[in-house]
Structure 1
């Protein structure tokens, strides 16, 4: 099966043209594998089926990875034109059960599979051309345009694996075997597990930006912890070992499950692992496309809640406290095994990168210094919720890759699986999923006394988000009233109907909540999942916490509750969504008010937003724009500025005049005023700005 495996691209080298060809080969290999795995679906009709209710139909994922390339390239201003704006909107967001993932099927009109295939061909051709033509110097850095291509490739590598999980969850009648996807042909009785001692040491996690392999933002930075001596299981927990838990009534005995686990049992009705099938009085095992006799010596596939419940069961049975390993403990296991990093590691030594099988294999097949499956076979759930290391910074092209998962609800998975490739098999990779998610994941257990030390609230460490929290929810400064509240008040003066409002560019959501005092329904949309996560937390958890910088590294920690703000009675009217103002999904429509606060001078193509916004308003609906008109090329290429420059004749172009020209076709200008706002940087430094507010009524 080695034709499917290919090592990740290194970022360094001496020959630029050779590096381009290396990237090209890696891109096409990734694209080919992704399309190949969709051959598992028996017919095009199956693309419109869901593997489970919390997921989109498979057509979404088939289009998603291609649109990711285009959306990121447009956003980073590497390309100017879209290929298909409709596809690049409906396939953009919705893969992780976030509050803002819109899974309501009635909102979507899915395109034909053949049209998505044709779209993917166009994307393939465009990206291939960019690999040849984009500026390239070595080593490749995060600032390089080629980095965005690598980001798209590694993103698709992730979806190769997660799509295989979804295909495996499909009813057997909906899938077919693919000749090249060979599963492991052998199994035996379960091996008896045993414990191996790992000596304690100081563990340092993270890498710096000079590392020669692509990394996601959460891999960079530094975290150190001393880990005491501990013991780890020699093997992953096999189907045979887990069978004892199932037969002893482990799924029925609530003492082995925490609150989240009991909720999972109630909702799912689970009595055994997802990929076990009970028929004719015995358990069988679901591989990608068929049922086989239970391979007792293969690793069990379970979610984190099931793995934790087994550890509690075994602890009670043996009188020893077992748990899942922490991220730091796993690193010591990795080091004990003598492993290094890709490309030093060769996949022939482990069941990963599609080199051996399209399935798991016996837990005693691939050993590393006496411990088996340290990498490969199945991912291993940890007890560590993912968090950002010291020095963590989001990448501007993909600010919602990691931060939305820093919520103590996403547990790290460690070590890779048979379906992992690319960045997924690297030493420093860090991936996390919600604990109830099925993955190609199992677990090993440890006996440990080490604690996990992580920061509990991401918004206290995210400087930009904290700054906006202070702006919207913090104190008033320099005698200037709260801008978010004042904008909502202005809106109430001009709107005739109060059924539905859109807060476009809602940031951390204060105006969205304020508008809900008047409107029956308010939707807040922002491009940044980091920002809307604040509004979601306030709505669902009743508070937000953030840090307000005072001086140097000193901060004042603040906490605001929904009761203090007076929103507890209106919160159910509010919803938050992630979206691109220049390419919104068509279901965002029929508004009586659209409020775009300090937005237009931050869009990559504001004219696109303005030329179509009338289609989203009801008759006599109101559009309110506020902006200080701070045009800068870091946000908007100069050719797309609406003002702040001289035209070819030397005449000054003012933004308000361009707004009148664009919006005048469909709107009547009702009102213009100036409105101050203040953003605190430190206790003694503030951004004091004046936004122009313009109010427009749809003709």
Structure 2
């Protein structure tokens, strides 16, 4: 049985043509593996999440994105299907299901076989471009091959976000890939505790001359003085969050602001989305392709509303970390001066499909920092207190002007660190992620407290 593997990011300063081709083919194969696990054709016309397009859109989206960007830099003169580039070209970020339905109600989606055929055409086109274009290094933000790297990283992002959609589908629509391997569970987690973090100056922002692909919001600069604070050694586990559920946390309005309370009542939420209740009243866990007993030592996966409600349940000023605090505790104050791709030990963390699920908190002994605070990277994303925001001197990239700018607002909260399914440059220190407060991703949280 061949293990599922996500290839490590590549340096754009000294990569070979073969490096780029391998990196592209790995991204394509990962998405193929995921989408081919959908075994009922009619399932492609459903939207498992009512804030996202039907799955047929995501079958064609990454392919169309490649061609749209390659045409902008004149690496592609003629498209095999301009209508598909338009249909599948741009995703959605609706505030409500009604907003989404209004936007897509008129669309006549093509047949599944036709879209698979389109994907194959696009794959062949991209391979030919990689094999034949002159390779002038380094590949920088104004280089024509930046469009290609943008397409590859975009596909890797959608491998992750599509996995969240599949996780919400009925199990009988899916077939688990043979090589899909879940992590173990050992029952109750280690007792959590608060750890003192000494303050310091943090520099946030990716250097312009970095040899690694980056999205526009990663560039710019910010220096922040962080005060001493406390943070939990582990991410909050299913076992810990169960105490909040058992103590009526979902029924106590004092833990929820008005918008969150309305969301909870509208969807009749009584426990985290991927918890199920069996006939005996016991909690089960919905993984990607299976249901099994709730792993109490895995990090809980919730949206921002639920994370904040848990903090209020704890009282005593318990809160989420900020972006600056997270950077300090994860990388210290030397990231910009010391970081290289070669010395990044991302293999120590539950990233890049090391496992095909979360792991028990603290299980990976090398996934702790010098203060033995675990899983700051990988396992599941970590919700933060910050609204998504631009760094000083932020400039949208001309190839993707609306990648970040429309989302710099209080409706989108930041999350950092990556998850087990995160791959590509998303696993690296400079990646800055965001989602709506009510949206689900492979995301959890740890708690913090000011001193």
1:36 and 1:168 mapped to 2: Cα distance? 14
Q: Output one character per residue of 1:273-314: Cα deviation in whole Å (capped at 9) or x when no partner.
A: 000001221111100011110100000000011001100101
Listed as ranges, the matches of 1:419-438 within 5 Å are 419-438=421-440
Secondary structure of 1:231's match? strand
**Higher mean C-alpha displacement, 145-154 vs 66-75:** 66-75
Residues 294/410 of structure 1: CA separation in 2 closer, same or farther (3 Å cut): same
Match of 1:10 in 2: 11
Match of 1:379 in 2: 381
Whether the 8 Å contact between 1:131 and 1:146 is mirrored in structure 2 is: no
Instruction: Tell me how many residue pairs correspond in the alignment.
Output: 440
Match of 1:283 in 2: 283
Q: Which has the larger radius of gyration?
A: 1
1:119 lines up with 2:118 in the alignment: yes
1:330 lines up with 2:326 in the alignment: yes
Match of 1:162 in 2: 161
Unmatched 5+ stretches in structure 2: none
1:138 and 1:442 mapped to 2: Cα distance? 39
1:448 lines up with 2:446 in the alignment: no
1:272 and 1:390 mapped to 2: Cα distance? 39
Aligned-residue offset at 1:187: 2.8
Aligned-residue offset at 1:41: 1.4
2:325 and 2:261 mapped to 1: Cα distance? 27
Listed as ranges, the matches of 1:482-497 within 5 Å are none
2:100 and 2:46 mapped to 1: Cα distance? 18
Match of 2:223 in 1: 224
Q: Output one character per residue of 1:442-483: Cα deviation in whole Å (capped at 9) or x when no partner.
A: 00111126xxxxxxxxxxxxxxxxxxxxxxxxxxxxxxxxxx
Aligned-residue offset at 1:176: 2.1
1:74 and 1:292 mapped to 2: Cα distance? 46
The alignment yields a C-alpha RMSD, in angstroms, of 1.9
Match of 1:179 in 2: 178
2:137 and 2:149 mapped to 1: Cα distance? 14
Candidates 13, 17, 20, aligned match of 1:20: 17
Aligned-residue offset at 1:105: 4.5
Secondary structure of 1:292's match? strand
Residues 262/343 of structure 1: CA separation in 2 closer, same or farther (3 Å cut): farther
1:97 lines up with 2:99 in the alignment: no
* TM-score, normalization by structure 1: 0.61
Unmatched 5+ stretches in structure 1: 450-699
Secondary structure of 1:197's match? strand
Listed as ranges, the matches of 1:502-521 within 5 Å are none
Residues 323/430 of structure 1: CA separation in 2 closer, same or farther (3 Å cut): same
Listed as ranges, the matches of 1:466-615 within 5 Å are none
Secondary structure of 2:306's match? helix
Q: Output one character per residue of 1:191-224: Cα deviation in whole Å (capped at 9) or x when no partner.
A: 2110111111111100222001100000001011
Whether the 8 Å contact between 1:54 and 1:103 is mirrored in structure 2 is: no
Match of 1:78 in 2: 75
Between structures 1 and 2, the one with greater strand share: 1
Secondary structure of 2:231's match? strand
Candidates 44, 48, 51, aligned match of 2:48: 51
Secondary structure of 2:47's match? coil
Aligned-residue offset at 1:185: 3.0
Aligned-residue offset at 1:107: 1.1
Residues 407/336 of structure 1: CA separation in 2 closer, same or farther (3 Å cut): closer
Q: Output one character per residue of 1:565-607: Cα deviation in whole Å (capped at 9) or x when no partner.
A: xxxxxxxxxxxxxxxxxxxxxxxxxxxxxxxxxxxxxxxxxxx
Listed as ranges, the matches of 1:246-285 within 5 Å are 246-280=245-279, 281-285=281-285
1:51 and 1:101 mapped to 2: Cα distance? 13
Match of 1:188 in 2: 187
2:440 and 2:340 mapped to 1: Cα distance? 27
Whether the 8 Å contact between 2:94 and 2:100 is mirrored in structure 1 is: yes
Secondary structure of 1:382's match? strand
1:101 and 1:47 mapped to 2: Cα distance? 17
1:162 and 1:300 mapped to 2: Cα distance? 18
**Higher mean C-alpha displacement, 100-109 vs 271-280:** 100-109
Match of 1:548 in 2: none
Candidates 53, 57, 61, aligned match of 1:60: 57
1:432 and 1:115 mapped to 2: Cα distance? 33
2:132 and 2:406 mapped to 1: Cα distance? 34
Aligned-residue offset at 1:114: 1.2
2:440 and 2:239 mapped to 1: Cα distance? 19
Secondary structure of 1:313's match? helix
Match of 1:363 in 2: 361
Structure with the larger RCO, 1 or 2 (CA within 8 Å, 6+ apart): 2
Whether the 8 Å contact between 2:346 and 2:427 is mirrored in structure 1 is: no
1:446 and 1:430 mapped to 2: Cα distance? 20
Secondary structure of 2:251's match? coil
1:219 and 1:386 mapped to 2: Cα distance? 12
Secondary structure of 2:76's match? coil
2:54 and 2:345 mapped to 1: Cα distance? 36
